[in-house]
Amino acid sequence: MILTVDVGNTRIKASVFEGDMSFEYFVFEKTELQKNIKNILKKYNKTTHLVVASVGNVEKESFLEFENELEVHFVSHKDTFPFVNSYETPHTLGIDRMVLAAGATLQYPGQNRLVIDAGTCVTYDFIDENDNYQGGAIAPGLRLRYEALHNFTSKLPLLTLESPKNFIGKSTYESIHSGVVNGLVYEIDGFINEYKRQCSKFIIILTGGDTDFLAKRLKNTIFANSNFLLESLNRTFQYKIKND
């Protein structure tokens, strides 16, 4: 069994896999990392590998304390990936984006793929049908957009995510919700439409913490899977084992 852990900017997600089958998904705060890992390993005591992809500020030592119980692996740029990295600055490409690209490559072979990860940031990653990672884009996610409006103005309030009641906001609160939510939805649809103009045989995967909220608002057909990164982390590690 493999325990995969995704350390994001905001929270930690984890899942236990045997082959391609996931037994359970977990979401917890960074301060609860070690307690939750211990509980997971106690419940799934046949786990042999702990595989970590991290973009957050959690120290490696927090995971290394489990080295006596199982093998710990941190995904890095030195690992074997199933695509050619054509990014002009390959070593600056986030590990989370590399794992998502690997998962899309392995799950959808021979197709152009666009992976959209809607979390703290929204990342767009394009892998062509010949398994070349071409790059993409990075934009603020929903929470960052709310925070930016509050932090960089003198009077706008800090709001939390909420579906806009009207497209035309009838109050400052409604206007903020309309601008943040509709703005990101139009952005995502716009990116997808531009990729479609350039490519054929297109697969679009939407993942990340805001997947469910955004998926039903998009006009384009997508595969919505909020746990795609954890599944990709499992596939990437199995690919590494077979090809190293």
Dig out the tokens for 157 from the structure.
């309030």
For residues 95 and 202, state if they share a domain: yes
pLDDT for residue 181? 97
pLDDT for residue 31? 84
Rounded-to-integer distance, Cα 6 and Cα 207, Å: 13
pLDDT for residue 139? 97
For residues 98 and 138, state if they share a domain: yes
- Establish if 241 belongs to a structural domain: no
What number of residues does the chain have? 244
Rounded-to-integer distance, Cα 108 and Cα 112, Å: 9
- Establish if 239 belongs to a structural domain: no
- Establish if 243 belongs to a structural domain: no
For residues 59 and 98, state if they share a domain: no
Rounded-to-integer distance, Cα 121 and Cα 132, Å: 23
Last residue of a domain, which of 74, 101, 125? 74
- Establish if 244 belongs to a structural domain: no
Please identify every stretch of the chain with a pLDDT value under 70, giving residue numbers as ranges. 56
What region, left, alpha or beta, does residue 63 occupy, with left being phi > 0 and alpha being psi -120 to 50 degrees? alpha
Task: Please pick, among 6, 20, 79, 96, the residue that the annotation labels catalytic.
Answer: 96
- Establish if 238 belongs to a structural domain: no
Is the pTM above the cut of 0.85?
yes
Q: Name which of 138, 119, 103 is nearest 213 in CA terms.
A: 119
Dig out the tokens for 65 from the structure.
């304390």
Q: For 78-96, how does the pLDDT look when each residue is reduced to its tens digit (9 = 90+)? A: 999 999 999 999 999 999 9
Last residue of a domain, which of 22, 43, 74? 74
For residues 182 and 98, state if they share a domain: yes
Q: Name which of 87, 67, 68, 184 is nearest 133 in CA terms.
A: 87
- Establish if 225 belongs to a structural domain: yes
pLDDT for residue 128? 95
For residues 89 and 155, state if they share a domain: yes
Number of domains in the chain: 2
The domain spanning residue 170 has which CATH number?
3.30.420.40
For residues 47 and 110, state if they share a domain: no
DSSP 150-190: HHTSSS---------S-SS-SSHHHHHHIIIIIHHHHHHHH
- Does 96 qualify as catalytic in the annotation? yes
Last residue of a domain, which of 74, 102, 117? 74
151 by DSSP, 3-state: which?
A: helix
- Establish if 79 belongs to a structural domain: no
- Establish if 57 belongs to a structural domain: yes
Q: Which domain holds residue 106?
A: 84-233
